[in-house]
């Protein structure tokens, strides 16, 4: 069955969030964003951020990197452009409106791809990851920061109890870390090299998936 996209509906939702997004999430997500940017920079200079939003992660990329950011929402991107200009973020290059499932870049364009808190919102996560794989250079990494549900054990039981509360703030435990492992397993040259908790401890996770060097 083909995936049904409501891109216009998503754009309208993001337009409403754009003015207040930073105030809500700037401190809550900072640890994960900082670690995602550092992991990406360790892979090489050319970095793609999928779901750049208002540009909260952009200041964490070090000088010497070359960061491209894409997002579905023009309203979010306007905030990201403002950050780039106001803070003099010379490491940030192109900021463009683009669908994660249809990336307008050549094969093997980036050393690393960061996906901060957006993979669970994409209508076709595996399709988006396929596109990221295509534009990722050999030896590079896809780095996902997100709320990922536990697959088993006490953590899963606690999350199930908290599920109704979590749902009220727009998060879900339905997207499991195993979904990323299963995606990576279909590519012989992709491997999950890290799944680690980031602040708040255990609630958000950082996942690094590495493409083998040529």
Tokens representing 38? 């550092």
Confirm if 36 and 57 have CB atoms less than 8 A apart. Answer: yes
Nearest residue to 159 (alpha-carbon basis) of 117, 207, 203: 203
The pTM of this model reads: 0.83
Q: What is the pLDDT of residue 5?
A: 43
Peptide bond into 200 cis (omega under 30): yes
Tell me the pLDDT tens digit for each residue of 15-35. Answer: 554 455 555 565 667 888 999
Q: What is the pLDDT of residue 169?
A: 47
Rg (CA), the chain: 16
Q: What is the pLDDT of residue 125?
A: 94
Q: How far is CA 49 from CA 14, 172, 174, in A?
A: 17, 22, 24
Q: Give the pairing of strands 46-50 and 66-71.
A: parallel
Q: What is the pLDDT of residue 204?
A: 85
Cα–Cα distance for residue pair 72/6, rounded to 1 Å:
11
Other beta carbons less than 10 A from residue 195's beta carbon: 16
**Could you say which residues of the chain have pLDDT below 50?**
1-7, 9-11, 13-14, 17-18, 168-170
Q: What is the pLDDT of residue 3?
A: 40
Q: What is the pLDDT of residue 199?
A: 77
């Amino acid at each position: 069955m083909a995936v049904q996209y409501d891109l216009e509906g998503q754009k309208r939702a993001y337009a409403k969030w754009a003015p207040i997004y930073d105030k809500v999430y700037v401190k809550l997500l900072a640890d994960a964003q900082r670690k995602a940017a550092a992991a990406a920079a360790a892979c090489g200079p050319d970095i793609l951020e999928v779901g750049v939003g208002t540009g909260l992660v952009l200041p964490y990329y070090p000088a010497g990197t070359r960061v491209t950011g894409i997002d579905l929402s023009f309203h979010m991107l306007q905030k990201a452009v403002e950050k780039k200009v106001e803070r003099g973020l010379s490491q940030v290059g192109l900021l463009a409106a683009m669908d994660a499932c249809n990336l307008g870049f050549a094969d093997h364009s980036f050393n690393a791809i960061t996906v901060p808190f957006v993979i669970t919102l994409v209508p076709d996560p595996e399709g988006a990851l396929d596109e990221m794989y295509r534009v990722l250079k050999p030896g590079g990494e896809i780095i996902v920061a997100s709320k990922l549900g536990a697959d088993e054990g006490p953590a899963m039981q606690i999350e199930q109890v908290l599920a109704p509360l979590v749902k009220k703030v727009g998060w879900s435990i339905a997207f499991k870390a195993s979904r990323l492992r299963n995606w990576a397993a279909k590519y012989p040259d992709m491997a999950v090299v890290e799944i680690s908790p980031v602040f708040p401890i255990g609630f958000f996770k950082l996942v690094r998936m590495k493409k083998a060097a040529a």
